[in-house]
Structure 1
């Protein structure tokens, strides 16, 4: 009996989003023969295009379509430039994570052969970040003259950490580590200061670690982790951490490996997944065919691997590595001469040659 189709909703986003989405879908078409199931592709507008037409950057019908899909491929959004939420400026990325229960943000950082990176030692690790809680749980309060609290000029941020969310992200991190050669997990925290919230997080991670005796486990303060990433990145394999720490450290790790434009990202939940470019929308080069599409292409590969399409995902990753190793087949940001679509075309050609 044939497997059901994989329903994929593509959301281009802002700035360079349409260009890198077009390039990425070329790659998806090239690996269709490798897939064990058909892929049904649909598209919808979010971001400024949706705001102009519908008065919101994330229309309700797009959320409904995302829930009816198996997976989302999400381009970059310009949420820092959106109007207030009251005027329709919803952050599509954050809202979709909540709507689809995408509790795990998985960000590999790996140095590429032949490409320079800021530190001498190569990077090969994964940051597994809890996606819903921490200081990003939108439980903030502020004080202006005569509002809410008796003392003006005060702002409070409440950090929400729960047992269940900590357990889900810890289990995801250890499952990932179990499939990697090094088999190491580092829990990143600041429990010496945030004793209650990070104390709870660490208690839960320790209980999960006890179920994985074959995986080496350590706990590292977040400031020390940042220093070790720069000085000795080989110390780390899988880092599991809370929302804000993971957001910061994953960007640091990707930059140390060569840049956000060369790193994929997956948001995963129990019923849905979203591949998402790590970088921003780069409006200054939008429409100029200058954007590097590698991040979204690798996010597609991660999405395919999530749905057990390891063969196609591996072929994409191998072909990307082959192109990045040769200066003649790099985009301009990496010292090459290729534009966005030309890079995708070279990648498609490489995939076809390897398939022959």
Structure 2
């Protein structure tokens, strides 16, 4: 099957193709910035500054692979690179200053230790920058053998509240209370985003995932907001589905889904499940979107500490997140070159990293991509 991701033009839901060889109807709306914010895209500069955060685990290897591919493609990107890890007490001020200037970043995953009492750096980045929508497309890729065929679904996750609010305390010794925060404002915002996404990218159906049968007030409010927004889009199919049933339906018949929208925790689970159905976390890029900018990264955010430093990590998701970035910046020729090379590796060769059934190293995979660019 052929698939496609897309990029922003000037408004939050306006977009152009992100990954051309993927389904043309599946563009990613990104950020609400004037088009001439990106100097290279408007012809005023030859280099575009982009914030680069390698992260932890395989993040350094994957982002290094992406940078090497970009260099061979002669992509006019000037990386502002910042190395820090989960031990950081907060997001470094220089990182925030860089992002405030560039409005775009590529990020590797941060591993969140069970023994670290501080809030995850991944979460802190999303909440500090109010990157309220996480968008990941899970789609069948030519040359990648999976049980399910012809899958093409988009998971849209509310990124800033829910169980990830981090409000926990011990009520009495041995009893811990964790607060799940759902607000009308943010639920309506993500619902509107999902329906606009479906409308503008020729999608036919929106599925709202919830657990309102049990969490009647919190998920009940989320569902109420989605129903209210859905009334403004009578030409789109609308359905609701309980989250546990959703997981079963995904493993049984994922082709039934189109655009899916859900609160934070469910989005994390469903995104990982969906990417696993069509090849795994190493293949699919994602983006975190807000009015202040966009951060491109691996869709399933796996730090994969067990294979870090072994030169066997799959850099595809990170390379393709870079392709999304390039289209977002209006650098379509460079994006086409890289994307086509990646697609040809999977369609024409047996060069695969171990996660997708091969024995190639990260270095060998990158070399195969570069060879096809040449």
TM-score, normalised with respect to structure 2: 0.81
Change (3 A) 1:311 1:18: same
Change (3 A) 1:345 1:226: same
Aligned to 1:64: 97
The structure whose residues are more often helix, as a share, is 1
Largest Rg, 1 or 2: 1
Aligned to 1:134: 162
RMSD: 2.4
How far does the alpha carbon of each residue in 1:287-325 deviate from its partner, in whole angstroms, 9 at most, with x for none? 222111011112222333444555654554443222123
In the TM superposition, 1:26-37 aligns within 5 A as 26-32=68-74
1:338 paired residue among 335, 356, 360 = 360
Question: SS at the partner of 1:200?
Answer: helix
Aligned to 1:146: none
Change (3 A) 1:328 1:121: closer
Deviation at 1:342, TM superposition (A): 2.5
Select between 158-167 and 310-319 the one with higher mean Cα deviation.
310-319
Separation in structure 2 between the aligned mates of residue 73 and residue 96 of structure 1, nearest angstrom: 12
Change (3 A) 1:164 1:273: same
Question: SS at the partner of 1:138?
Answer: strand
Uncovered stretches (5+) of structure 1, i.e. residues with no partner: 144-148
Question: SS at the partner of 1:329?
Answer: coil
Uncovered stretches (5+) of structure 2, i.e. residues with no partner: 1-41
Aligned to 2:273: 252
Aligned to 1:175: 196
Q: Is the CA contact (8 Å cut-off) linking 2:80 and 2:98 kept in structure 1?
A: no
Aligned to 2:304: 282
In the TM superposition, 1:247-326 aligns within 5 A as 247-277=268-298, 278-309=300-331, 312-313=334-335, 315-326=337-348
Q: Is the CA contact (8 Å cut-off) linking 1:6 and 1:70 kept in structure 2?
A: no
Aligned to 1:107: 136
Separation in structure 2 between the aligned mates of residue 290 and residue 81 of structure 1, nearest angstrom: 25
Q: Is the CA contact (8 Å cut-off) linking 1:266 and 1:303 kept in structure 2?
A: no
Change (3 A) 1:238 1:318: farther
2:225 is the counterpart of 1:204: yes
Aligned to 2:252: 231
The structure whose residues are more often strand, as a share, is 2
Number of residues of Structure 1 aligned to a counterpart in Structure 2: 331
